[in-house]
Amino acid sequence: MPDLIIRPATEADLPAVGSVTVEAYRVDGYLDGTDDYADTLADAESRLREAELLVAVDDSGAVLGSVTVVLPGTPYAEISQPGELEFRMLSVAAEARGRGVGEALVRAVFDRARAAGIGQVVLSSSEKMAAAHRLYKRLGFTRLPERDWAPLPGLTLLAYTCGVPA
């Protein structure tokens, strides 16, 4: 996508990042009964401070999506172990879907892993996120069922892993 730029988020991006992330999860029905998680998704400021927050913007600077990149043992890490990079809260604005934004953000995570000398990327995803699962499979992720977990009763998160492509 020629008009797509992936870069670290700035403070100016934070309101849009929070809004796009919450809306992406809400539109797809992933926030039903989990309003506390909406607050976490909206808190882009904490993600910028405690992790690496990447944004996808168009040539006008409008935020089209974001992803949070974390190392094991840091505040946003869920399933990563030493030698792995984890990403969370991948989101794409409704009007930008189907334009390669999500894939570009995941590829940027691979770039971060390569730059850090990390060979594996992991993530957790709600069992309901079928479109995201198709993307992950297309990019080479495989299931990591031994790390599946349930943060809340009735909400199962599926674990995925992928070796960082050369």
Rounded to whole angstroms, how far apart are CA atoms 101 and 36? 26
Q: What is the pLDDT of residues 121-158, one digit of tens each?
A: 999 999 989 989 999 999 999 999 999 999 888 889 99
Q: Count Cα atoms within 13 angstroms, Cβ side, for 73.
A: 3
CATH of 5-163, one of 3.40.50.300, 3.40.630.30, 3.40.140.10, 1.10.10.10: 3.40.630.30
Q: Is 0.85 topped by the overall pTM?
A: yes
pLDDT over 70 percentage in the chain: 96
Share the mean pLDDT of the chain.
93
Using the structure block, give the residue that is written with the tokens 């009763």: 153
Q: Which residue has the higher pLDDT, 147 or 27?
A: 147
